[in-house]
Amino acid sequence: MNYFLPFQEKVSINNQPYNILERLVEALDNSYKLFMNAAEKATNRKVQIMVFDLAAESYEYYKELVSQIQNFDFNFYHDIQNVDIGWNIVKMYNDYIGDNTEEILEECLETGNLIIRKFTDLLNNPVINVTHKKLLQQQLNSFLYAFVKLKNAF
């Protein structure tokens, strides 16, 4: 007797949500690099530490999303390393060069606005499933809070 189980059909995984999430992964990777660069240029120690925090947060979200995508798309590869956010590279002599706080904050807020737009675009995309939307919403809320802290600090 031949029994046919409907679940024996070839199952195809819809990779579309993961292809869309890859754009955010790239944006988070770029934002991490931009925040690190901005932190290294900052002459105000308080600003520098806050921007290093943003870089660390960006990198954590980057790693989280890469991990989520790799669970379903085995061809997706990003080299995730344990990055030591260089808290100790604060150069004390920067305080004597002049204060570039406004320039650094503007640069960070511009990068932040791009990231926030990417998050909101994904949250409004019907292809993204509820589980990923929940993760994205948590990450977005955390980013928004970090930027509010940054804006209010100065």
CATH of the domain at 128: 1.20.1260.10
Q: Is-contact 116 140, C-beta < 8 A?
A: yes
Q: Is residue 9 part of a domain?
A: no
Instruction: pLDDT tens for the chain, 154 residues: list them.
Output: 444 434 333 333 345 666 778 888 889 999 999 999 999 998 888 889 999 999 999 999 998 888 877 776 555 555 555 555 554 455 544 445 678 889 999 999 999 999 999 999 999 988 888 888 999 999 999 999 998 988 887 7
Give the range of the structural domain holding residue 118, as residue numbers without chain letter.
14-153
Q: What angle do CA 152, 120, 61 make, to 5 degrees?
A: 70
What residues contact 29, with CB distance under 8 A and at least 6 apart?
62, 78
Residue 45 — φ and ψ, nearest 5°? -60, -40
Q: Is residue 64 part of a domain?
A: yes
Q: Is residue 2 part of a domain?
A: no
H or E element in which residue 59 lies: helix 45-72
Q: Is residue 119 part of a domain?
A: yes
Q: How far apart are the first and last CA of the chain?
A: 76
In a 10 Å sphere around its CB, with 0-12 CB exposed, 13-18 middle and 19+ buried, how is residue 119 labelled?
buried
Q: Is residue 6 part of a domain?
A: no
Both tokens of 38, joined, read 């901005």
Residue whose entry in the numeric block shows the structure tokens 């100065």: 154
Q: From CA 140, how far away is CA 85, in angstroms rounded?
A: 21
Which amino acid appears at position 19 of this protein? N
Q: Is residue 4 part of a domain?
A: no
Q: Is residue 81 part of a domain?
A: yes
H or E element in which residue 45 lies: helix 45-72
Model-level pTM?
0.75
For the chain, the domain total comes to: 1
Return the axis-axis angle of helices 16-41 and 45-72, rounded to nearest 10°: 160
Q: Is residue 1 part of a domain?
A: no
In a 10 Å sphere around its CB, with 0-12 CB exposed, 13-18 middle and 19+ buried, how is residue 141 labelled?
exposed
